[in-house]
């Protein structure tokens, strides 16, 4: 009987010491220590050929900053020995936004090669020549792709079998059905004058599910109209008013 190899993330970076970083603690760290997944951080600079180990040069056509060289990065990608079935990603602010659906796809596969850019970007010829899929984690610019890579890996690892304590805990989160997650509550029953919504302590599972769905729809419509626009046949559910602070009773004295 043969078993498939564990999910593996191969990261190409100029700063391999940034890994595993936060991936070495909590759920991801425990899963890494027990070989539920594997991480390999490879130094791009190891593929440089000159004595100064240069990895960048000035942009063609002029302009500020530096650009990662195509020959050095291509050599680093080739040296990683990635099989045909593994996606090759480049963390880039101009890439397609990372979605939960894409995370699920990546988590179900063998694991990606992730290129972490630096400086002004990467020579377009290596992006095209090595078939890199550009991925963005948001409409902002970071100093490099390492933090974005950490976020992507964490999102994938938590979905791997055996990583989360309860398998169902990943099915009712934000974006799992294209909606934001409903509000969560726990003890104490009364906090700073605000109680837990009565419906959540009613024991009526059908009403609890309906309340949570309604809250998710209302939050998505209000905060993420872009997501709400993609929901077919959408009709916001009626959401009961959330509990507010209870007024303390007035002190009374006998006159």
Q: What is the pLDDT of residues 61-77, one digit of tens each?
A: 999 999 999 999 999 99
State the pLDDT confidence band at 172, using cuts at 50, 70 and 90: low
pLDDT in tens, 198-218: 999 999 999 999 999 999 999
Do 137 and 209 belong to one domain?
no
Do 150 and 210 belong to one domain?
no
39-62 in b/e form (b: 16+ CB < 10 A) is bebbbbeebbeeeeeebbeeeeee
Q: What are the tokens at 53?
A: 């180990």
Question: Is 90 exceeded by the pLDDT of residue 251?
Answer: no
pLDDT at 177: 80
Question: Is 50 exceeded by the pLDDT of residue 130?
Answer: yes
Angle at 88 between CA 73 and CA 26, to 5 degrees: 105
State the pLDDT confidence band at 255, using cuts at 50, 70 and 90: very low
Please state, in angstroms and rounded to a whole number, the distance separating the CA atoms of residues 54 and 28.
34
pLDDT at 234: 76
What is the domain extent for residue 205?
Answer: 172-228
Do 130 and 62 belong to one domain?
yes
Please state, in angstroms and rounded to a whole number, the distance separating the CA atoms of residues 135 and 148.
9
Q: Residue 234 — φ and ψ, nearest 5°?
A: -80, 135
pLDDT at 243: 77
pLDDT averaged over the chain? 91
pLDDT at 237: 66
Those residues whose C-beta lies under 8 Å from the C-beta of residue 162, and which sit 6 or more positions away, are 31, 36
Any domain includes 61: yes
Any domain includes 162: no
Any domain includes 235: no
Any domain includes 249: no
Please state, in angstroms and rounded to a whole number, the distance separating the CA atoms of residues 106 and 88.
11
Domain termination site, one of 98, 122, 157: 157
For the chain, how many structural domains are there in total? 2
Do 52 and 150 belong to one domain?
yes
User: What is the value of pTM for the model shown?
Assistant: 0.88
Q: How many CA atoms lie within 13 A of 87 on its CB side?
A: 17
Question: Is 50 exceeded by the pLDDT of residue 109?
Answer: yes
Any domain includes 163: no
Do 32 and 149 belong to one domain?
yes
Please state, in angstroms and rounded to a whole number, the distance separating the CA atoms of residues 111 and 97.
18
Do 99 and 43 belong to one domain?
yes
Burial class (CB in 10 A: 0-12, 13-18, 19+), 90: buried
Those residues whose C-beta lies under 8 Å from the C-beta of residue 154, and which sit 6 or more positions away, are 22, 23, 28
Query: Does an H or E element contain 88, and which?
Result: strand 88-97
CATH number at residue 68: 3.40.1280.10
Any domain includes 49: yes
Question: Is 60 exceeded by the pLDDT of residue 100?
Answer: yes
Q: Are 179 and 229 in contact (CB under 8 A)?
A: no
Any domain includes 247: no
Do 107 and 178 belong to one domain?
no
Least confident of 27-41, 128-142, 175-189: 175-189
Any domain includes 196: yes
State the pLDDT confidence band at 168, using cuts at 50, 70 and 90: very low
């Amino acid at each position: 009987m043969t078993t498939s190899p564990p999910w593996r993330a191969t990261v190409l970076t100029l700063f391999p010491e940034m890994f595993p970083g936060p991936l070495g603690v909590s759920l991801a760290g425990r899963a890494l220590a027990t070989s539920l997944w594997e991480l390999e951080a490879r130094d791009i600079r190891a593929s440089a050929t000159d004595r100064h180990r240069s990895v960048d040069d000035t942009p063609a056509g002029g302009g500020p900053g530096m650009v990662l060289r195509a020959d050095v990065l291509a050599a680093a990608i080739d040296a990683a020995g990635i099989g045909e079935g593994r996606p090759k990603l480049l963390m880039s602010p101009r890439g397609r936004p990372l979605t939960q659906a894409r995370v699920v796809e990546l988590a179900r596969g063998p694991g990606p090669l992730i290129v972490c850019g630096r400086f002004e970007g990467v020579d377009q010829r290596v992006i095209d020549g090595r078939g890199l899929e550009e991925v963005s984690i948001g409409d902002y610019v970071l100093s490099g792709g390492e933090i974005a890579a950490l976020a992507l890996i964490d999102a994938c690892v938590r979905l791997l079998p055996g990583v989360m304590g309860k398998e169902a805990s990943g099915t009712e989160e934000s974006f799992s059905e294209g909606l934001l997650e409903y509000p969560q509550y726990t003890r104490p029953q009364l906090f700073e004058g605000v109680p837990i919504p009565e419906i959540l302590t009613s024991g009526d599972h059908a009403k609890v599910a309906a309340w949570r769905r309604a809250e998710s729809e209302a939050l998505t419509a209000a905060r993420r109209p872009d997501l709400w626009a993609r929901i077919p046949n959408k009709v916001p559910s009626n959401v009961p008013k959330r509990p507010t602070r209870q007024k303390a009773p007035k002190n009374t004295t006998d006159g």
